[in-house]
């Protein structure tokens, strides 16, 4: 079966091998078209799972029995496509800048607003940017806000930049002010809540190209 998948943003070619070897084509409207043959539904599900893990917005999915050579050019907004009404957050659109000499070393600048996020955080996952082995939650929590109890297969590091938080690490509860670093040990369930009167701004660091966690509270 031949598949064509449309996602928001221009995907780093680094991830092609994890996406079933599908060919990447960058569209003028800022989307990426992935196309090629996959052996079965399991392979397709594997590709879709990687899309979710990378935080991409899946716009449309088209299938055909035709081979690559026989594939017609399809309007990605047309009737041949199954459009995705909802799903995962969109891929951050990075802005690249170079020196006047246009050297091979490029800086990637990502405005906070272009990172996927929730009610009180934005999320950076380094794997989406050339396999960087670091991810983080950029938190701005109002009083009473904070994540539920969860656990990671690595240590999580909290850099409390502003505010007051109550951390629960295993059976231990700690009151933490700005200017402190908290380390959540590997495999120990933990959570925090803004127990102060102002905004809480910790930077939650994950030494992994993607965030891996399991919830321990509903």
The structure tokens 């850099």 sit at 159
User: How far apart are alpha carbons 116 and 93 in whole angstroms?
Assistant: 10
Mean pLDDT of all residues in 181-195: 95
Global pTM reads 0.56
Is the predicted pLDDT of residue 121 greater than 60, yes or no? Answer: yes
Domains of the chain: 2-83 (3.30.70), 111-215 (2.60.120.10)
Closest C-alpha to 203, from 143, 162, 175, 147: 162
**pLDDT digits 0-9 by tens, 25-42:** 888 888 889 999 988 878
Whether the pLDDT of residue 120 is over 60: the answer is yes
**Own/partner pairs, 33-36, CB within 8 angstroms, 24+ separation:** 33/4, 33/5, 33/6, 33/76, 34/3, 34/4, 34/5, 34/6, 34/7, 35/2, 35/3, 35/4, 35/5, 35/68, 35/71, 36/2, 36/3, 36/68
Q: For 65-83, what is each residue's pLDDT tens digit?
A: 755 444 444 444 444 444 3
Residue 44 near residue 13, CB atoms below 8 Å? no
Choose between 205 and 40: higher pLDDT: 205
């Amino acid at each position: 079966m031949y598949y064509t998948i449309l996602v928001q943003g221009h995907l780093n070619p680094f991830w092609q091998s994890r996406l079933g070897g599908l060919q990447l084509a960058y569209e003028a409207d800022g989307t990426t078209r992935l196309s090629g043959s996959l052996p079965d539904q399991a392979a397709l599900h594997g590709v879709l799972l990687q899309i979710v893990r990378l935080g991409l917005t899946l716009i449309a999915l088209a299938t055909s029995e035709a081979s690559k050579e026989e594939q017609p050019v399809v309007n990605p907004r047309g009737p041949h496509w199954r459009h995705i009404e909802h799903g995962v957050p969109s891929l951050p659109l990075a802005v690249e800048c170079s020196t006047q000499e246009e050297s091979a070393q490029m800086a990637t600048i990502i405005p906070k607003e272009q990172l996927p996020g929730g009610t009180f955080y934005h999320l950076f996952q380094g794997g989406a940017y050339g396999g960087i082995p670091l991810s983080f939650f950029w938190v701005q929590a109002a009083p009473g806000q904070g994540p539920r109890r969860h656990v990671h297969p690595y240590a999580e590091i909290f850099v409390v930049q502003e505010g007051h938080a109550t951390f629960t690490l295993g059976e231990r509860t700690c009151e933490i002010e700005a200017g402190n670093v908290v380390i959540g040990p590997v495999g120990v369930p933990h959570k925090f809540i803004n127990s102060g009167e102002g905004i809480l701004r910790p930077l939650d660091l994950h030494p992994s190209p993607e965030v891996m966690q399991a919830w321990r509270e509903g």
